[in-house]
Amino acid sequence: MRNELGARRYELGFRTSWLLAPSLHFSSSPLHFISVKSLSCQSMNRLSILLLLFIGISVITNGTPVFADNKDSLVAALNVKAIALCQSKQYAESEKTFKQLFRIKGAVLPDESAYYYGVASFYLRKYTQARTALSRFETLKLAPDSLKKEAVEFRYDMDCYEKGYFEYPETCMHCDGEGHLDEPCATCKGNGRQYCPVCSGTGVAVSKGGLGGDSYSTCNRCAGKGVIDCLTCKGKGHLNQACSVCKGKGTVLMRGICKDE
């Protein structure tokens, strides 16, 4: 493949050169001139442009041809290679190949790539890198369930190596996994009533009289009762709000005991 790509680059360079410098004639190898007619300044400029263009076309990034029509096949080949290296326990080479793959702009990778990159990183003891890749893999909707389960196990193993225990999610028993429920209003403690904020629960409104003394009258806000419907829950006594145990997640983290191996 590399020889074919090289040949294509030379062929393209040859055809472009014929357009840019018609006064130049090439042999079957574009790097050797058969004959050169009189070179004017214009011809020299054309030659300069030709050489720059030829060099640009021949550029290879990290040993990888940059032709757009070969990108998809290149991505597929590198992905297969990286996964095969991981499966054969050549983790360092697998990681290296994956990183070469990730540098290709606009590359669309299969879901399994994140899994195998995480596995290679795990065995190289790059746990932060591995956890990021495996966690990402678990969120992919089309990822195989069997590999998702293995990704979870790898994360548990990393927790054991780093913390001595692993954490796993359990359904919150307080809200039955709903993440929210009706809970007593914290303002009124569940009774739906609170002291009147105008008279402070006395039922009497106090105001300054005309001669500087105090004037007393029935509180208009609570009609002299001293209490009103709770302003927070509107008198219901409860609120539908995020579960206070799981913080609205529906699950709580439990600690598991690591097995000695």
Residue 151 and residue 122 in contact, taking contact as beta carbons nearer than 8 Å: no
Fold of 185-242: Chaperone, DNAj Protein; Chain A (2.10.230)
Instruction: Classify residue 50 as left (phi > 0), alpha (psi -120 to 50) or beta.
Output: alpha
Domain ranges of the chain: 2-58, 68-163, 185-242
Considering the domain 68-163 in this protein, what is its CATH number?
Answer: 1.25.40
Residue 12 and residue 58 in contact, taking contact as beta carbons nearer than 8 Å: no
Rounded distance, CA 230 to CA 122, Å?
A: 55
Residue 167 and residue 256 in contact, taking contact as beta carbons nearer than 8 Å: yes
- Look up the pTM and report it: 0.47
Q: 245 to each of 160, 177, 250, 252, 254, how far by Cα in Å? A: 25, 11, 9, 8, 13
Instruction: From first to last of the 261 residues of the chain, give the pLDDT tens digit.
Output: 444 434 433 343 433 333 333 333 333 334 333 333 444 555 545 545 554 444 444 444 444 444 445 778 888 999 999 999 999 999 999 999 999 999 988 888 888 999 999 999 999 999 999 999 999 998 888 888 889 999 988 988 888 888 888 787 889 988 888 888 888 888 898 899 999 999 988 989 888 766 667 788 899 989 999 999 999 998 988 888 888 888 888 888 888 888 765
